[in-house]
Chains A and B, each alone.
Chain A
Amino acid sequence: MTHTINLNHITKIEGHAKLFVEIENSKIKKCELSSIEGARYFEGLLKGKHWFEAHEITSRICGICSCGHNVAALMAIENALGIPVSEQSKVLKKLLTFGERIRSHAAHLYFLALPDYLGYESALAMTPKYKTEVKRALKLMKIGNDIVRTIGGRDMHQVTATYGGFLKIPTKEQLNDLADRVKGLKEASIETAKLFLSLKQRPAVNECEYFSLYEENDYPMIDGPLVSEKSKFDKDQYLDYFKEYHNKYSTANFVAKDDVSFVTGSLARMNNAFDKLSIDAKKVATDNGFKIPNKNPYNNNVAQAIEIVDALDQVMKICTELDPVDEKPPKVNVKAGHGIGAVEVPRGTLFHEYTLDDKGIIQHANIITPTALNLKNMEDNIREIIPSLLNLKDEEKINLEIEKLIRAYDPCFSCSTHFLKVKWHKVLTKS
């Protein structure tokens, strides 16, 4: 007997995607997760543009991680042209990406993931009974947006960060105000972590390599080599480790390393750098039984919740310690060059790579997003989990579990390419 699971349009994810699974005699013959987003060809559009246009254009790849694209493009061009970057500029870039991590995780956890666990179709439907939780989500999203707005001048597609520096530097008063307000939300972040740590997760093991950037002194964000349990390599070597391949059913890039399944994202960061989390983030995790290494893919949600606690602590620390000086961005000497930028965006590791000619015109651009990196692993895990789900019998329940798994990865199909809607077809064949 042949079953097909055909989720034509997956909801509550960023972007549009569909899933097709074919099961014959309890064996999975096909499992294809694909983007159904129209192609936008960003890399093609970048060819022939000036070096100083890359960050503004690529910010538009994604609404929810616009800061990440922005910062990755800035770093890649800074590397290509040897633009000096002050310590203050590095710290301000981090603030932007921490603000984004907070708003993105809060939006994903409460609006896209939590309704599945509580048995609602949306966070809006949850509101009458779970008003405290929904309001908490909105407060966390707001502080994330306010951080981005204060540092970046705008909550989406920020404008102040530029090559080597910032066009406008926040004042000490603004940073103090942010620190105070972030402090006021600390309890909300702890409650969020506790809530997600208390959810019952389906047992599952994602045996693969967990990759993230690694920083000696900080939890991974915008610097350092790539690491996993087994490997360590410079970000410039990313294409040697992450092979890009094209498949027949999607506009997104799929990547595999030595054909070994691997994943990036919150859980990977946590597996690689748990000890670098803030004291309170570590405490809430260990007090509530979170163990490292953690290989249950559903726990990416839990890792995101813990990361919000850490991000608030980091923002408080930076805002308290930084005494901003009004420095101007450096003058840039345009020359031929090649550079790579890597950033830990909310969903995992993001790479931007540019080659410039001697007039600073972009000759080649390569952008690899975490969802593209994670897609194969998502498929592998869906394939893995389906046999245990078939006992559930009820199609709706099976679909919900698959969607929960996909949402735990917090995929962004806008970046790679958009939702999930579930439609079952049963084909009876002679067997």
Chain B
Amino acid sequence: MGKPKVGVYGLTGCAGCQLTIIFNEDEILDLIDLVDLKAFPFIKSHNEDETFDLVFCEGLVASNEDLVTLKKVRDKAKILVALGACAHTGCIPAYRHWTLKENYEHLLYDKNHDIQDQEPTPIDAHVKVDFTIPGCPPDGKEILNFVKDILNGKTPKKYNNPVCIECRRNNNDCLLIEGKPCMGPITAGGCHSVCINGGFECWGCRGPTGDANYEAWINDLRSKGFDDNFIKTRMKIFAGLKMEESAFKILK
């Protein structure tokens, strides 16, 4: 088998996840030697979009252009990877779903413009996604390990333990006990609890763990004086459209 043909595309987003690939400064040149990088418009002028073995897609669908690009790369890619929180959950831009139109509508200057707004949605709302590398942004090494697995013919595994497991291992003081609205117990880890290591509570950027005890977590936050509105916003702001509906039923 020859080198796998790889593409890296960005939809609407902050380019942070694409940068996270490049910010593997010690490994990036070796990594690029192992693949045939056909397209990466952020850093390349010649981008061939024939067929790909592997495409990383950053960003969410927020415009008609995004949708066209996404469908094109899906059609040409054997494996499509949602790279980062925007592609995975819709992240912060998807909060528009719960924002009053009057708060943002005026910010779009030209309603007749050829770039049409789309409902902000993660990419799996439109196309089949084969793998997700979560996080805002993902851990750089996680991306390397993903590519290594693919090159070795292994199926990359999803990390599904809550952030608290890694956080305890890192010997951090529990921020929930300190009264902070930490989302660690209900959020998928794999991030080495990087935010909490820095003293900052988890905001849930890697999406829900799936089998979390939402009721216990919500009641704990309530007992610390956080109201249901605040809790709801926190649950939506990064986890976006991936937060489980059942969790919201507990809230008023």
A37 and B12: CB pair below 8 A? yes
Q: Which 4 A-B pairs have the closest CB atoms?
A: A63-B16, A153-B198, A44-B104, A38-B62
Q: 14 more A-B contacts (CB under 8 A) besides A43-B104, A111-B22, A419-B41?
A: A12-B44, A38-B66, A39-B62, A50-B230, A57-B237, A63-B18, A125-B44, A135-B29, A145-B25, A153-B199, A154-B195, A160-B198, A160-B200, A246-B110
Cβ contacts under 8 Å, B34 to chain A: none
Question: A328 to nearest B CB, angstroms?
Answer: 10
Mark B residues whose CB is within 8 Å of A: 10-20, 22-23, 25-26, 28-29, 32, 37, 40-47, 60-63, 65-66, 91-93, 95-96, 99, 103-105, 107-110, 113, 115, 117-118, 120, 136-137, 140, 194-195, 197-200, 203, 230, 233, 237
Residue among B99, B104, B197 with most chain A CB within 10 A: B104
Q: 13 A-B residue contacts at CB 8 Å?
A: A12-B45, A37-B63, A38-B11, A38-B93, A39-B107, A44-B104, A60-B92, A112-B43, A121-B44, A123-B43, A138-B28, A154-B198, A248-B113
| A264 shortest CB reach to chain B, Å | 20
| Pair A167/B230 contact, Cβ less than 8 Å | no
Pairwise interchain contact B104-A45, C-beta atoms closer than 8 A: yes
| B58 to A, closest residue via Cβ | A63
Interface residues of A, count at CB 8 A = 69
Contact A47 B103 (CB under 8 A): yes
Tell me if A64 is interfacial: C-beta within 8 Å of chain B.
yes
CA distance A107 to B25 in the complex (A): 11
CB of A208 within 8 A of chain B? no
| A39 and B63 contacting across the interface, CB-CB below 8 Å | yes
Q: Beyond A153-B197, A160-B198, is A124–B32 a contact (Cβ under 8 Å)?
A: yes
Q: Once bound together, how far apart are the Cα atoms of A64 and B61, in whole Å? A: 21
Chain A 69-98 near chain B by CB (<8 Å), digits 1 or 0 = 000000000000000000000000000000
Which of A62, A125, A138, A158: most chain B Cβ within 10 A? A138
Contact A11 B92 (CB under 8 A): no
Which residue of B has the minimal Cβ distance to A106? B25
Binary per-residue interface labels of chain A (240-268) against chain B in the complex, 1 for a CB within 8 Å, 0 otherwise: 00000011111100000000000000000
A121 and B15 in contact, given A39-B107, A44-B99, A156-B137 (Cβ under 8 angstroms): no
Candidates B46, B103, B200, B230; contact of A159 at CB < 8 Å: B200
Any B CB within 8 A of the CB of A48: yes
Question: What residues of chain A lie closer than 8 Å to B103, measured between beta carbons?
Answer: 44-45, 47-48
Contact indicator B15/A15 (Cβ below 8 Å) = yes
A246 to B107, CA, bound (A): 10
Q: Are A156 and B16 in contact (CB under 8 A)?
A: yes
Scoring A53, A103, A159 by chain B CB atoms within 10 A of each residue's CB, the highest score goes to A159
Given A64-B16, A418-B10, also A38-B25 (CB < 8 A): no
Q: Nearest CB to that of B200 among chain A residues?
A: A159
Contact A139 B137 (CB under 8 A): no
Chain B residues near A225 (CB, 8 Å)?
Answer: none
Chain B residues, CB < 8 A from A47: 99, 103
Smallest Cβ distance from A305 to chain B, in angstroms? 18
